[in-house]
Amino acid sequence: MSSGVDDDIKRDFLQEAGELVQRLSEQLIDLEKSPDDQELLNAVFRAFHTVKGGAGFLELTPLVELCHVTEDVCNGLRSGQSKLDSTMMDCLLQSLDQVQLMLDAVAREQPLKAAPEDLIDALKTLAACAAAPAPQPVAVAAPEPVKAAASDTITDDEFEALLDQLQGKAPAAPVPTAPPPPPAAPAVVPVVRESAPVAAPKPVEAEVKKEPAETQVRVDTQKLDRMMNLVGELVLVRNRLKSLQQRSASDPVSRAVAELDFITRSLQGAVMQIRMQPIKRVFSRFPKLARDVARGLGKQIEVELQGEDTDLDKNLVEALADPLVHMVRNSVDHGIELPEARLRAGKPAAGRLVLAAQQQGDHILITVRDDGGGIDAEHIRRKALQKGLIDSSQASQMSPEECLDLIFLPGFSTKEQISDLSGRGVGMDVVRSRIRELNGQVAIESKVGQGTCFRIRVPLTLAILSALMVHAGGRRYALPLSPVRDVFVLDETKVRKLDRWDVVMVRGEPLRLVYLDPWLEALPSDQLRHVAVATVDEERYGFVVSEVRGREEVVIKPLGASLRGLTGVGGATVMPDGQVALILDLGGLVQAYRQSLAAPRPTIENEHG
């Protein structure tokens, strides 16, 4: 077999095994809640058995041995001769972790290491506790062909026995088991011979026709990225033609550009659908993760997933994994109380963690909510003062909501002792930074004794952005359109000072202003200004610019090395006239502007004071 074929087989095995392991993570947690669910038991058994079969074909011996002994434990549960308890579930989950580590090693083309001996020994002990369940499937499988001929179906046990035979691992026991009942032998053999050419192939053909693989094609993600880049370039050309068409009075040209616009939008939508993946690919790992963390801390946890079928860009699915893992670990470690404390507070012993996702326009809202002890805003205020992150004058003016927001500051933590688990607050600045890199926002709500909720908003895609085009300091900029709520002309006479901020009353409420111009090029005092009202981390701000040009769909391009990581800048785009405009990060702008107010610069005070 050629190396190319070997690589293809290995790639297909890793793809299928990876999907099975992902489902196993969910299935094992569900099994712990419903240990008598026979269908679930069979699904878990078949998953380990299938991974073992593929590993055997590729001669991945350590993986075969681990799956085989795990399979024996599952078989004992299926036969009813073993009962699932927390110790057995711990072993099964540890086995799953080892399977994942081995698959990762195969993907990196590294030699496989055998699973830890203590885990193998524990699994063998659990399997031995079942009263030798192995011969039972064989005994059932021997007479079953008669039934299969009548019903055109085979049992799960027959299917697994057949797989073992195909792999050359069928035990020697089946041969001597048939002779003991002499009358059965002549009765079985003729039936099998008559039905084999007619009945046996039919179920197989029927199963093949039901396989969805014939209507699906696996495509390398790099090819999808290439396709998306080409669509992005097409959008830029479309925008250029629309700009040129406005100068032409020709009806045929207008119609052609309109048709191109329609086709481009349709193609853009079709490619986006191809790139979409359900957020379940991220969510599915959290029940097991939360259980592992809770078990290590002596806590109990129930995880509920909502909106798992919500689709978003594949790159976002991958990018959200680490921030969400951090939040889930923190919720269990630092949010959920110990069972005794929860019972004293009148709560169930097991904490509840809810992960939910829903689409809102061109954004996805993700919430991570627990019913733990909550966060005390006053405690946060005191900690921030102790660490020197804020001064006393700032602390005295902060609302409870602003105090909670301090946990996202670099270096902030409410945890007294650092462990291998991050406490809520450790690294939360990294979480916010990562979300902002995705053009998203994260906000926090918490009530002492009732729990904490993090809300994350991210766009459906990282490739194309609906933007509000503005001018500031003689340059063009793109503001993400989704958080923009209003645009109005600024009346300079109505600007007032409040807690160091310039504010203007809008619909009876003060709106804090963020000036872009002083950072770039100061405008004359009599220059007309516009304000774009936008929501940042669930608070409203007014971004003051010299001119608002209108809405446009822009293709997001990565920043060059000199601008990468610059606060307040999230990317760049090419305009219809070929010039480059920066895409602004509103959250980063607010953060930088707030820091600039802590040490006011004369240019800001003189111009707007």
Least confident of 73-82, 245-254, 367-376, 441-450: 245-254
Residues in the chain: 609
User: Phi and psi (nearest 5°) for 215?
Assistant: -105, 5
Report residue 354's pLDDT band, with 50, 70 and 90 as the boundaries: very high
pLDDT of residue 451: 92
Quick one: DSSP state of residue 509? Answer: E
User: What percent of the chain has pLDDT above 90?
Assistant: 21
Separation of alpha carbons 448 and 373, rounded Å: 6
Confidence class of residue 99 from pLDDT cuts 50, 70 and 90?
very high
Confidence of residue 155 (pLDDT cuts 50, 70, 90): low
The string of pLDDT tens digits covering residues 26-71 is 889 889 888 888 899 999 999 999 999 888 888 899 999 999 999 9
> If you search the block for the tokens 């602390």, which residue do you land on?
395
Assign a CATH topology to domain 464-608: OB fold (Dihydrolipoamide Acetyltransferase, E2P) (2.40.50)
Q: Where are the domains of the chain?
A: 3-213, 221-277, 279-459, 464-608
What mean pLDDT is predicted for residues 284-297? Answer: 90
pLDDT value of residue 589: 86
**How many other C-beta atoms are found inside a 10 Å radius of the C-beta of residue 395?**
16
- The CATH class of the 3-213 domain is mainly alpha
Q: Both tokens of residue 114? A: 């055998």
Q: How far apart are CA 58 and CA 5, in angstroms?
A: 12
CB 127 within 8 A of CB 76: yes
Give Cβ neighbours of residue 384 (< 8 Å, ≥ 6 apart): 390, 395, 403, 406, 409, 412
Number of alpha carbons in the 13 Å side-chain half-sphere of residue 400? 8
H helices of 514-600, where?
517-520, 586-598
- Mean predicted lDDT score pLDDT of the chain: 78
What pLDDT, on a 0 to 100 scale, did the predictor assign at position 160? 57
Tokens of 182: 């002499």
- 361 has a pLDDT exceeding 60: yes
pLDDT digits (tens, 9 = 90+) for 488-532: 999 888 999 888 889 999 888 899 999 886 554 444 555 788 999
Per-residue pLDDT reduced to its tens digit, 575-604 = 877 788 888 888 888 888 887 776 544 443
Asked if residue 439 has pLDDT above 70, the reply is: yes
Average pLDDT estimate for 125-154: 52
pLDDT in tens, 156-214: 555 555 555 555 444 444 433 344 444 443 333 333 333 334 333 344 343 444 444 45
CB distance 552 to 577 below 8 Å = no
* C-alpha torsion sign, points 161, 167, 171, 175: positive
User: Could you report the per-residue pLDDT of 241-278, keeping only the tens digit for each?
Assistant: 887 877 766 788 888 888 888 898 888 888 878 878 88
Determine the 3-state secondary structure of 443 from DSSP.
Answer: strand
Q: How confident is the model at residue 601, as a pLDDT?
A: 47
Q: Which CATH code, of 3.30.565.10, 3.40.50.1110, 3.40.50.970, 3.20.20.300, is assigned to 279-459?
A: 3.30.565.10
- Quote the CA–CA distance of 162 and 155 in Å, as a whole number: 11
User: In angstroms, how far apart are the furthest CA atoms of the chain?
Assistant: 108
The residue among 535, 572, 533 whose CA lies nearest residue 554 is 572
Mean pLDDT, to the nearest integer, of 386-402?
82
Q: Is the Cα torsion angle 597, 598, 602, 605 positive or negative in sign?
A: positive
Identify the residue with better confidence: 584 or 137. 584
Q: Cβ of 399: how many Cβ atoms within 10 Å?
A: 9
Interaxial angle between packed helices 61-78 and 117-129, expressed in degrees from 0 to 180 and rounded to the nearest 10: 30
pLDDT at 78 over 90: no
Residue 515 · residue 609 · CB < 8 Å: no
User: Residue 81's pLDDT band (boundaries 50, 70, 90)?
Assistant: confident
Predicted confidence band at 134 (pLDDT cuts at 50, 70, 90)?
Answer: very low
In CATH terms, 221-277 corresponds, of 3.20.10.10, 1.10.287.560, 3.30.70.520, 1.20.1530.20, to 1.10.287.560
Q: What is the pLDDT of residues 328-353, one digit of tens each?
A: 998 999 899 999 999 999 999 999 99
Determine the average pLDDT of the residues in 525-554. Answer: 85
Strand locations in 209-322 (E): 276-278, 301-306, 311-313
Q: Say which residues have a Cβ less than 8 Å from residue 221's Cβ, sequence separation at least 6.
A: 314
Residue 326 to residue 408: CA distance in whole angstroms: 13
The pTM (predicted TM-score) of the whole model is 0.63
**515 beta partners:** 544
420 DSSP 8-state letter: S
Considering only 190-194, 267-271, 398-402, 435-439, which range has the smallest mean pLDDT?
Answer: 190-194
Q: In what order do the strands lie in the sheet with 441-447?
A: 301-306, 351-360, 363-370, 451-459, 441-447
**What is the Cα–Cα distance from 161 to 169, expressed in whole angstroms?**
9
